[in-house]
């Protein structure tokens, strides 16, 4: 790491031509209007094989000493972010998605917090906004009044840490690199999930900041709002790699962590089965998947009603239907007929 370099911002991008100019302009404007010097901040843009004008926009407009463009073939966001982690030279790492942005004044505040603590990780809050900056809502964690170790942080947030994406944290670069904490290459969706579990299990000190610094732009057609069959099949293809990584984490010796890991296994299995039924992703494939889940002790799915987000009457009824192969088949047929009717209307 360079002595003067305080922050490495990692921006993975794929066909981000509509957003990348504004994204970089905002960051550089922040640098110019703050106390940050150009040798204290580096921007690592990892171009994941974009087929639009992303590369041209960057090369034509951002030929600056502290802006580094790395071009690569398309391999997904996990490998792309890992390249960023490997090449980061700043004391701290921040992730930003190309269509999102930080609040004004965020960078010096985050760096100041980082400089004044010995934390491995700094957590902060974010808001959900429209492409025109209309605020939809905010996402805040359970308020934690003092820094804590990662295991306690998981427990204090009811084990829901994984639901917060990596761009809502500032990471100590040496902590990530020395512990070889990277994204699982074969997990294309929910890639933040295992990464944050590994971070929290290994972090000795996490500092929680209750300020909102990040704006998560809700873009229609983004990968997490894509309900096309091909996308949903890819989403389901990530279930087994996720369960594999959770099985590795399950070996941890803290009982409260094991409880949350069991919950997350069942949550992913439940989501996998529900998507397969609602969007008719293939009945024989679903039967095969359920057999695999059953062999792993994950079907029938466990009762999760004591956890936040799983206690609704609808969830309880759906779980009972899914956990019975006869009623599950009936529900699959119902959605198949409904989807055919919907397409023909």
* pLDDT attached to residue 8: 96
Q: Give the three-state DSSP class for 288.
A: helix
Residues 286-301 have pLDDT tens digits of 999 999 999 999 999 9
Most confident of 80-84, 131-135, 313-317: 80-84
Closest CA to 299 of 326, 265, 257, 337: 265
Q: Which DSSP category does 209 fall into?
A: E
**What integer pLDDT is reported at residue 2 of this predicted model?**
59
CA distance 228 to 221: 10
CB-based burial label for 266 (10 Å; 0-12, 13-18, 19+):
buried
Spell out a b/e string for 14-29, using b for 16 or more CB atoms within 10 Å of the CB, else e.
Answer: bbbbebbbebbebbbe
Whole-model pTM: value is 0.92
Supply the pLDDT for residue 303: 94
**Which structure tokens are listed for 182?**
């990277």
For residue 128, CA distances in Å to 102, 202, 220, 232, 321 come to 12, 29, 13, 23, 34
> Taking the mean position of all CA atoms in its chain, how far away is CA 145?
24
Domains and their CATH numbers in the chain: 7-222 (3.90.550.10), 226-344 (no CATH)
Q: How confident is the model at residue 37 (pLDDT cuts 50, 70, 90)?
A: confident
User: DSSP 3-state assignment of 260?
Assistant: helix
Q: Over 60: is that where the pLDDT of 225 sits?
A: no
Q: Model confidence over 246-277: pLDDT tens digits? A: 999 888 767 778 888 999 999 999 999 999 99
What confidence score (pLDDT) does residue 342 get?
82
User: pLDDT tens across 113-135, in order?
Assistant: 888 888 999 999 999 998 888 88
What pLDDT sits at residue 31?
Answer: 84
Q: Say what percent of the chain tops pLDDT 70.
A: 93
Winning range, highest mean pLDDT, from 19-28, 161-170, 208-217: 19-28
Helices (H), the chain: 20-32, 54-61, 77-87, 106-115, 150-156, 173-178, 191-202, 229-237, 239-249, 255-278, 283-295, 313-322, 325-344
Owner of token pair 């921007």? 43
pLDDT reading at 340 higher than 80: yes
Task: Answer whether residue 221 shows pLDDT above 60.
Answer: no
Long-range contacts, stretch 28-31, CB < 8 angstroms, 24+ apart: 28/62, 28/64, 28/67, 30/102, 30/104, 30/105, 30/106, 30/107, 31/107
4 pLDDT more than 90: no
Q: Judge residue 51's burial from the number of C-beta atoms within 10 Å of its C-beta, 0-12 exposed, 13-18 middle, 19 or more buried.
A: exposed
Instruction: Return the pLDDT at 118.
Output: 87
The highest-confidence range among 2-11, 24-33, 82-91, 200-209, by mean pLDDT, is: 82-91
Mean residue pLDDT across the chain: 90
Beta bridge partners of 170: 94, 122
Q: Residue 290: its pLDDT value, please?
A: 98
Name the residue with tokens 């699982």: 184
Place of tokens 């494939």: 285
Query: What is the average per-residue pLDDT within 14-20?
Result: 96
The pLDDT value given to residue 222: 56
Structure confidence at residue 1 (pLDDT): 59
Report which of residues 111 and 18 the model is more confident about: 18
Q: Given CA atoms 89, 92, 96, 102 in this order, what sign does their dihedral have?
A: negative
Task: State percent of the chain over pLDDT 90.
Answer: 67
Residue 13: alpha-carbon gap to chain centroid: 15
Q: What is the predicted pLDDT for the residue at 144? A: 67
Q: What is the pLDDT of residue 310?
A: 86
More confidently predicted of 4 and 303: 303
Cis peptide, bond prior to residue 337, ω within 30 of zero: no
Burial-class residue 214 by CB neighbours within 10 Å (0-12, 13-18, 19+): buried
CA nearest 170: which of 194, 212, 206? 206
């Amino acid at each position: 790491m360079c002595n003067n370099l305080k922050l490495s911002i990692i921006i993975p991008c794929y066909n981000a031509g509509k957003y990348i100019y504004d994204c970089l302009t905002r960051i550089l404007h922040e640098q110019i209007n703050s106390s940050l010097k150009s040798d204290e901040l580096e921007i690592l843009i990892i171009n994941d094989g974009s087929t639009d004008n992303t590369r041209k926009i960057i090369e034509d407009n951002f030929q600056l000493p502290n802006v580094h463009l790395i071009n690569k073939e398309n391999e997904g966001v996990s490998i792309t972010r890992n390249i960023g982690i490997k090449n980061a030279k700043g004391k701290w790492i921040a992730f930003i998605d190309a269509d999102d942005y930080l609040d004004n004044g965020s960078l010096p505040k985050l760096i100041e917090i980082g400089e004044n603590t010995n934390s491995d990780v700094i957590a902060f809050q974010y808001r959900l906004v429209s492409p025109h900056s209309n605020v939809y809502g905010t996402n805040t964690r359970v308020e934690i009044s003092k820094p804590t170790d990662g295991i306690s942080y998981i427990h204090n947030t009811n084990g829901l840490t994984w639901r917060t994406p990596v761009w809502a944290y500032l990471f100590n670069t040496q902590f990530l690199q020395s512990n070889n904490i990277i994204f699982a290459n074969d997990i294309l969706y929910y890639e933040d999930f295992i990464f944050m579990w590994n971070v929290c299990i290994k972090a000795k000190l996490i500092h929680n900041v209750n300020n909102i610094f990040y704006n998560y732009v809700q873009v229609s057609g983004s990968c997490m709002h894509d309900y096309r069959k091909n996308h949903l099949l890819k989403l389901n293809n990530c279930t087994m790699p996720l369960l594999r990584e959770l099985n590795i984490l399950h070996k941890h010796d803290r009982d409260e962590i094991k409880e949350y890991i069991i919950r997350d296994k069942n949550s992913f299995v439940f989501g996998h089965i529900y998507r397969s039924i609602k969007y008719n992703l293939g009945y024989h494939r679903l039967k095969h998947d359920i057999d695999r889940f059953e062999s792993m002790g994950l079907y029938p799915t466990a009762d999760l009603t004591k956890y936040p987000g799983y206690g609704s009457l609808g969830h309880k009824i759906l779980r009972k239907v899914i956990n019975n192969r006869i009623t599950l088949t009936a529900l699959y047929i119902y959605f198949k007929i409904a989807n055919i009717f919907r397409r023909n209307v």
